[in-house]
Amino acid sequence: MTRVLWRAAWLLASLATLRVAASPAVDPAFVREAGRCALRGECGSKGALGGQIPCPDNGLAVKSDDPVFLATLSSLCGSDFPDTTCCTQDQLNTLSSSIQQAEPLIASCPACRNNFVAYYCHFTCSPNQSQFVTVTETQELKNNQVGVKTVDVAVAEHFGEGFFDSCKDVKFGATNGFAMEYIHLASLVILADPYSSGCSINYPDLDPPPSPLPPTDNTTIVPLNFSSLSCAAPGLNSRCACPDCPAVCATLPPIPTPADRAHRCHVGRMDCLPFAMTIIWASLVIAFATTMTGISVWKLSKTKPVGKWATWPTLPTLSTSSRPGYDRVPLNDPLSSFDSGADNLTESPRSGSLARGPSTSTTGAASTSDAQDGDSLAGRQKPPSGAPSLGRSSSHDTSISTPSPSPFLQPRTYTLNTVLASFFYRLGYFCAKRPYLTLALGLAVAGGINSGWSKFEVERDPVRLWVAKGSESARAKEQFDNAFGPFYRTEQIFVSVAPAVQRLDSAPEPGMLPGVDVEYEAKRWEPADEPVLTWSRLQWLASVQSTIRALESPSGYSLKDVCFSPQTNPDAPEDTSSCVVQSVMGWLGDTLDEVDENSWQRTLNECAASPSRCLPPYGQPLAPKFVVGGLEGQDGRRFSVSEARGLVVTYVVRNSLDSELIAKVEEWETTLQKYLSDLSSPSSSARLDLDLQISYSTGISLETELNKSANTDIPIVVVSYVLMFLYIAINLGGSGAGLLKSAGRGLLLLGSGIVHLIRLVPFPSRLSLGRQRSASVTLSLAGSTSGMGAYFRRQVLVDSKFLLGLWGISIVLLSVSTSVALFSALGVKVTLVIAEVIPFLVLAIGVDNIFILSHELDQQNARAYATSARVGGAIFSTHNEEEDDAFGLPPAEERVAAALSRMGPSILLTAISETVAFSLGALVGMPAVRNFAIYAAGAVVLDTILQVTVFVSAMAIDLQRIEANRVDCMPCLKLPQSAFFDLGATVTEGFIARFIRTVYAPVLLKKPVKYLVMVLFSGLFLLSWIGSRHITLGLDQRLALPSNSYLVNYFNAVDTFLDVGPPVYFVMKDVNVSARANQQRVCGRFSTCQELSLANVLEAERKRSDASFIAEPPAVWMDDFFQYLNPLLEDCCRVSRADPSVFCSPDDPDVACRPCFEDADPPYDTTMNGFPEGDEFHRYLVHWAQSPTDETCPLGGKAGYSTALKLNPERKTVDLSHFRTFHTPLKTQDDFINAMASAHRVARDLSRRTGGTVFPYSLFYVFFDQYSHIVATTRQVLTFAFLSIFAITSLFLGSWRTGAVVVTTVFLSVVSVMGGMGAWGVSLNAISLVNLVISIGLSLEFCLHIARSFMAASGGGLSFNHPAGMKDRDERARIALNDVGSSVVSGITMTKLIGVSVLALTRSRLLETYFFRVWLILIVSAALHGLVFLPVALSFFGGQGFSTGEDEDWLGNVIGSRYEHEGRPFLGDSDDESEDDGLF
């Protein structure tokens, strides 16, 4: 029974504090019996504005024969109500007026309306009133009469349940709320709470329940109990529509919720699928290991041991001279015998470069793939110990003999490679021969293109950045803005009690978060668990709002000039009282005059219980969820409004497509922002005196703070670039190594000198001996100093390539600048992502070409110097740059041309692959991604062109400088000749190259290690795939902000305190709503509306908010419009009695007007038969949209629906209209994404049911539009990229097998990046999609140079199916690592690591999350896959290569000579390292 009374109390007195405890003692003289009253008549009011208070009267009911009284009673309570009553005509008039005011709220549900009227008729006029109403307390009024102060009302459980159920779901559409939330009891009945009429109602608990038998004495209570109407009953006087009565609603087909979709099978904390895949992988690894172990054991048991290496099969293609019976033979000619290492060397004529031996002929048709199994090898012999006879096919290995060419087999040729090599040779020769002309032409063309900077523009609009122009959300926003106007701008303030940790912090700058560690403070921000409201704080809030109302911008604009007012929209109001300001002060009328320190809490709690009795000045009910937050404690306890933990103040400001109005608004917002910045400062009185924390946002805040974030990133990005520049400039050509060696040798020399000087300390007994040592020490130091000085002068001053490195860096920057200018001229705007990423990206891509070209030129010089040394003796730096070299040294331009000829095809392959990969990003509709892809592809193309032309010319100039013994960076200075160094010593092997040659490559390509690598990388792939499943979608706005931005606290406050979701509009078009059939497809409040009409579907979706994310009843304009026409609502739609074609205004007298449909034929009823159609529908609709919304008729359409309709007066149609509701509170990125997806699903369903077009719109949709298709877009872009790379690499490398290996390596690297993203909490969005496209390009950098070197090694090697093919591929993989591995490490890996490492210092969480984290994962993953997995995969699955057109034997001799010939005066290295006998 208690539950029933509470429910009844909620319905009947939504403002009163219901008391269920025992009432005060009843007057012993009070008589309870049928036919006796408890109340009768009106005794007056308690105050001038108070309602009428009934008089206590325990007399008998009176039968009336007054026709006016009986007519009024019959019209209100029905003709069957007894004419013997306990009420007077005045009471009936008051009751009639109150019911009339309630009609607009409850008339849509006949059962609720009739139950409501029946209850109040019985309460007011029942002849048996004394049996269920008890006067428990009276009061003396101003007119000296005694009135009722407190009464008890007994209500039977059956009636209470039925009454409540019939009304609990009745909606008031204009406010997206429930009607009962807005009913003020004082306006409906003669009784109300003590603060309106001065009378209160109690509902005592009937315990024990009353007996169903007739009362036996005059003290027995007989609860009010009559049959209530059910909203689901079939009669017209009871049946309600679906929105007001869930029992009659159709059920929508079930759909899974996001929680259902996220629920997966788990084994412990692991999903079942990854768990199963892990088990399968582990089983396969164990099976493979077991099988290989068994095979090895079986072979051991079947093979007779011969020696230490008998278990390794001896193949006729490769051998190691240190192994008995296992000689190494040339890969390019397995049938040839060994010959002298220098026998094939011939000199070229001066017109050519270098002559080739017979084995380099490319005219033969035969290939090494034609070799037959079992062919014998003639004349095997070992080379002399330590002879440096390595061909290029074996890099720097000094234990391999030099082969002689075979007269039978020729290296495999590849026409495309030959053509490209020839082209690049000619291009390189031209650029090196005419370097200054090339530089002038290149810079002139680039300078001309750079004139496009005059059209440079930066795109800052988030909508135009992240939303494709033709996307669904972009079209929806455009249509919504054009039809209904842009969504309002909001200025929002959150007030909470400052956490204790912040109260103790020192004061930072205004607008920043307090505390020393600002980022830490922001991350751990949380409000104090204390009530925010006190009387002093409420006074402070009133003062703040008063100040904001008076705030003026420099041009004199104030709140009234920019605010939104429903009464005057689209015009500005006359004063700020009409402005929509949502705050607890609105309940108090924006003033504290009516409350004091003792009453403010009670008043606020009462207003929160019934917002309609405390209307703010702008006239719309204000629900508590809009103005307070934190009403639920951590223990689940519900707080009252006066105990709320947070306050929300929202100023709704007009938005427009008019730029002049927006300029006014933004100027006022700037003034407001400055005021709020001062208000939220830790040094303000709010913090110091009241311990309040202020979090705020204005309409201009987000764009301002995002720009500030970009500005704070600039120093970090610049430092990153500078460090990369320095690394490149210092390390190019071994400059860094030379400096380190000089410094190290200098320290050693200094230490040695100190030791010798100590020995020279004169002791008497050693005086003679000291004199003898003095001379020798002096000579030793002199020689060491002289040697070190020569070394320093040569290696540091001359051989360094600092200036060449700066040229390379300048070319990279020039390519970026030219790309920006070119596409700016073409109208492609720059974004902040482009500005921050493209220079870094192009530098990272272009650096490896700089290192590789420089390294290859060193190789060409080594051959030339070695050849000249063998022919003419040692070469010293004595040649005149104006004359031919006396020792036959090829001209510098020929060596430069040869370097470009060899590396040009590789550079071209890399550039084309990266350009295609980046260009595919242009398929993405998001402008930020598309523009990035265009700029990146263009920058890569321009950088490549400049590198193979301008940089080649710079290399030629630099080479001439070195050979002329001129100082780097100051070429005008020429050093004197030195006897310590010749030109051959200018090319030295670096530490990384030596490590790869002697340790890394041999160990990596051992068979057990290769198997281990394949197993580990397969496990890494599985782990990465599991990690990629945990990638979420979204981009938290807080990440894009500076960590010390005030908006970080604002977004935290939104998550904590705002308990309402964003509004969502379902916009309908292409539906003729003046036709009855279409009206029934849309409406929901009438009996003939379709079961699954638009209104009913939205209501059904609201009831499953966990799947639809719709929280509030929809505002269906058609339902409220037709309700407005109800003739029972006498103060709503009215026409002139004299001329029914003329509508009455609210000011016209009642006597001159009548309800619009009072005498309609057919009559107005819930069957919609008498509702207007066609032109009549449009005439009434236009009038309704202009009718004010006020207390006399809250269904007027001006305030709630004037902006919900796009009327076409010429065609008399509704072009577009929207139906507003609200999302559930959205806290996470997943919530926003799922809410948008659900809205689109609902819209598609509504389109199908209405026959028109329905689309959803909410303010955040445009920012989350990318997530509706980003997964599919990512798959599409990556798939196209991998297929394109496979085709390009297969074409350029001449082998689909090698192309497949490269693509697989890149694929595994990208999957590893995605796995790292999932593990490190990096979400998938447009920025990370850009990074995935970048990961393809950078992964190619680590792979393609090695892959092409593999294909070009050993003249192409053997065919894949050749019996010795595996050993051949091992050797070629080893050559590839030796050839370009050091360039990949020093030119790609280290450069990128240096640049990315600096980004760890950034204060931007966006830069730290999406660039530092992702790029660090990318660099590590790409380096591992390119330097570890790729060589192993090539050794297993690589295809047969091709000859590069060079005599591999000759190359082997000269390169081997290089390391035998170099002086190494300070290195003290030994060249007699021998290979591990365990190598292949």
pLDDT in tens, 380-397: 334 333 333 333 444 344
User: In the predicted model, is pLDDT for residue 1075 greater than 90?
Assistant: yes
Q: Is the dihedral of CA 900, 902, 905, 911 positive or negative?
A: negative
State residue 135's pLDDT score: 87
Query: pLDDT (tens digit, 9 = 90+) per residue, 1222-1259?
Result: 999 998 889 999 999 999 999 999 999 999 999 999 98
State residue 1286's pLDDT score: 92
Residue the block writes with tokens 């293609």: 317
How far apart are the C-alpha atoms of 1471 and 176, rounded to whole Å?
87
Which residues partner with 146 through β-bridges? 140
Confidence class for position 616, pLDDT limits 50, 70, 90:
confident
State residue 48's pLDDT score: 54
Confidence class for position 1014, pLDDT limits 50, 70, 90:
very high
Cα distances from 338 to residues 97, 343, 401, 1237, in angstroms, run 119, 10, 7, 73
Query: pLDDT (tens digit, 9 = 90+) per residue, 1304-1328?
Result: 999 999 999 999 999 888 999 888 8
Phi and psi torsions of 537, nearest 5°:
-70, -35
How far apart are the C-alpha atoms of 72 and 439, rounded to whole Å?
104
Burial of 1234 (C-beta count, 10 Å sphere; 0-12/13-18/19+): buried
3-state secondary structure of 695: strand
The residue ranking higher by pLDDT, 204 or 648, is: 648
Which residues partner with 1064 through β-bridges? 1221
Q: Do the Cβ atoms of 1374 and 394 come closer than 8 Å? A: yes
How far apart are the C-alpha atoms of 780 and 1224, rounded to whole Å?
87
Name the DSSP letter for residue 989: -
Q: Do the Cβ atoms of 1338 and 1324 come closer than 8 Å? A: no
Query: pLDDT (tens digit, 9 = 90+) per residue, 100-115?
Result: 777 777 777 888 888 8
User: In the predicted model, is pLDDT for residue 516 greater than 80?
Assistant: no
Query: pLDDT (tens digit, 9 = 90+) per residue, 1101-1136?
Result: 998 989 999 998 888 999 889 989 988 888 889 999
Confidence class for position 1065, pLDDT limits 50, 70, 90:
very high
Query: pLDDT (tens digit, 9 = 90+) per residue, 1127-1185?
Result: 888 888 999 999 988 999 888 888 899 999 988 888 888 888 889 999 999 999 999 99
Helix axes 1414-1424, 1296-1320, angle to 10 degrees: 150
Residue the block writes with tokens 């009061």: 139
Query: pLDDT (tens digit, 9 = 90+) per residue, 524-557?
Result: 456 778 899 999 999 999 999 999 999 999 999 9
Average pLDDT on 1383-1388 reads 80
Query: Which residues lie closer than 8 Å to 901 by C-beta, 6 or more apart?
Result: 421, 422, 424, 425, 428
Question: How would DSSP label each residue in 1198-1249?
Answer: HHHHTTSEEEETTTTEEEEEEEEEEBPP--SHHHHHHHHHHHHHHHHHHHHH
Confidence class for position 1066, pLDDT limits 50, 70, 90:
very high
Q: Is the dihedral of CA 1304, 1307, 1311, 1316 positive or negative?
A: positive
Query: pLDDT (tens digit, 9 = 90+) per residue, 745-772?
Result: 556 656 666 766 665 555 555 444 444 4
Residue the block writes with tokens 């072009």: 1215
Query: pLDDT (tens digit, 9 = 90+) per residue, 483-503?
Result: 998 888 999 999 999 886 544
> Which structure tokens are listed for 1351?
């294909």
Give the pairing of strands 146-153 and 200-202: parallel
Phi and psi torsions of 207, nearest 5°:
-135, 115
761-765, 1059-1063, 1376-1380, range with the lowest pLDDT: 761-765
Query: pLDDT (tens digit, 9 = 90+) per residue, 1184-1234?
Result: 998 887 777 888 888 888 889 999 888 889 999 999 999 999 988 899 999
Cα distances from 866 to residues 149, 985, 1445, 1449, 1480, in angstroms, run 117, 10, 20, 14, 29
Of the chain, the percentage scoring pLDDT greater than 90 comes to: 22
Average pLDDT on 84-111 reads 83
**Amino acid at position 82, single letter:** P
State residue 542's pLDDT score: 93
Query: pLDDT (tens digit, 9 = 90+) per residue, 818-848?
Result: 988 998 898 888 876 677 677 777 776 777 7
Query: pLDDT (tens digit, 9 = 90+) per residue, 868-914?
Result: 766 554 444 444 444 444 445 788 888 999 999 988 888 898 888 88
How far apart are the C-alpha atoms of 650 and 1054, rounded to whole Å?
12
Give first-to-last CA distance, the chain, whole Å: 92
State residue 775's pLDDT score: 47
**Which strand (E) or helix (H) includes residue 54?**
strand 52-56
Write a three-state SS string for 337-377.
Answer: CECCCCCCCCCCCCCCCCCCCHHHCCCCCCCHHHCCCCCCC
State residue 1409's pLDDT score: 85
Average pLDDT on 1274-1283 reads 88
CA angle (984 as vertex; 981, 989 as ends), nearest 5: 105
State residue 987's pLDDT score: 56
3-state secondary structure of 847: helix
User: In the predicted model, is pLDDT for residue 562 greater than 80?
Assistant: yes
**Which strand (E) or helix (H) includes residue 822?**
helix 802-825
Long-range contacts at 1016-1024 (CB < 8 A, ≥ 24 apart): 1017/1308, 1017/1425, 1017/1428, 1017/1429, 1018/281, 1018/285, 1019/281, 1019/285, 1020/1308, 1020/1312, 1021/1308, 1021/1311, 1021/1312, 1022/277, 1022/278, 1022/281, 1023/1315, 1024/1308, 1024/1311, 1024/1312, 1024/1314, 1024/1315, 1024/1316
How far apart are the C-alpha atoms of 699 and 491, rounded to whole Å?
6
621-637 as b/e, with b when 16 or more CB fall inside 10 Å? bbbbbbbbbbbeeeeee
State residue 747's pLDDT score: 62
116-130, 197-211, 441-455, 962-976, range with the lowest pLDDT: 197-211
Q: Do the Cβ atoms of 422 and 376 come closer than 8 Å? A: no
> Which structure tokens are listed for 1087?
């009996």
> Which structure tokens are listed for 779?
């000579």
The residue ranking higher by pLDDT, 164 or 758, is: 164
In the chain, the largest separation of any two C-alpha atoms, in whole Å, equals: 154
Name the DSSP letter for residue 1110: B
Of the candidates 1428, 1424, 1344, the residue with the CA atom closest to the CA atom of residue 1380: 1344
> Which structure tokens are listed for 160?
């209470």
Burial of 529 (C-beta count, 10 Å sphere; 0-12/13-18/19+): exposed
